[in-house]
Amino acid sequence: MVYSVDQRADDKMAMPFPAAFGHCRARSVMIPREDILAETGRALRGARQARGMTLRDVGTRSNGRFKPTAVAGYERAERGISLERFCELAQLYGMGPDRLLLQIMWRLAGGPDPTINRARVQELPDEEADVVGGFLQRVRDLRADADDEVITVRVQDLEVLATVSGHQLRDFLDHLEPALASKSARS
């Protein structure tokens, strides 16, 4: 089974939500179910771990509604998750289901992980360096991530940063490319 996502025909990456990422000419791209399950699991695991929760904690905090083995199955893409349970799990993690879904769709569309190497921000054009550098400093202060060289931000943060710097998201990502952390640097 496959699902479709809208994308820009002339873009480097697919654009699943035209309203969120700007006006685009849509065409259909088929995404295998396995990819959707894998990205859903990745997003759920990231949300759980970001809250410092173990699988057992999920079971306890949900009063047994979510069994640790079921959540592990979602995270490993061994089980599909219903929309209802997805929403409940997102709420248990203290985040809106739409935010988690946006992360999933962003990755399925080929968007870069919003992970920025602080040391490489100075390689950006001056306007972007100021905007991104100031934003990352604020994120570090709020998270107490003073020693982290690489900082992960939300997909929505990239949209806001693009707007603040006066660019469309696509152009902003092109400018931001030197500061995006490579996958090998995050592993």
State pLDDT tens for residues 64-78.
999 999 999 999 999
* 3-state secondary structure labels for all residues of 115-138: EEEHHHHHHCCHHHHHHHHHHHHH
Range 11-17 average pLDDT: 37
- Is residue 183 pLDDT above 70, yes or no? no
| Same domain, yes or no: 81 and 4 | yes
Residue-level pLDDT at 12? 35
Residue-level pLDDT at 93? 94
* 3-state secondary structure labels for all residues of 72-121: HHHHCCCCCCCHHHHHHHHHHCCCCHHHHHHHHHHHHCCCCCCEEEHHHH
Helices 169-176 and 126-143: crossing angle in degrees, nearest 10, is 80
CA distance 32 to 3: 7
| Same domain, yes or no: 67 and 157 | no
* Domain boundary pick from 111, 128, 156: 111
CA distance 42 to 32: 16
The set of residues, in sequence order, having a beta carbon less than 8 Å from that of 159 and lying 6+ positions away, is 20, 21, 169
Residue-level pLDDT at 173? 83
- Domain total of the chain: 2
| Same domain, yes or no: 56 and 20 | yes
- Is residue 89 pLDDT above 70, yes or no? yes
* Domain boundary pick from 111, 129, 159: 111
| Same domain, yes or no: 104 and 141 | no
Largest CA distance in the chain: 52
Whichever domain contains 97, its CATH number is: 1.10.260.40
Look up residue 172 and give its two tokens.
Answer: 């902003």
Look up residue 57 and give its two tokens.
Answer: 């904690």
pTM of the model: 0.64
Q: Which residue has the higher pLDDT, 40 or 6?
A: 40
Residue-level pLDDT at 146? 59
Which of 137, 129, 154 has the alpha carbon at shortest distance from 43? Answer: 154
Residue-level pLDDT at 161? 86
Residue-level pLDDT at 37? 96
The domain in which residue 90 lies consists of 1-111
State pLDDT tens for residues 103-140.
898 888 888 777 888 889 988 888 788 889 888 888 88
The one-letter amino acid code at 161 reads L
Residue-level pLDDT at 142? 79
| DSSP code at position 5 | E
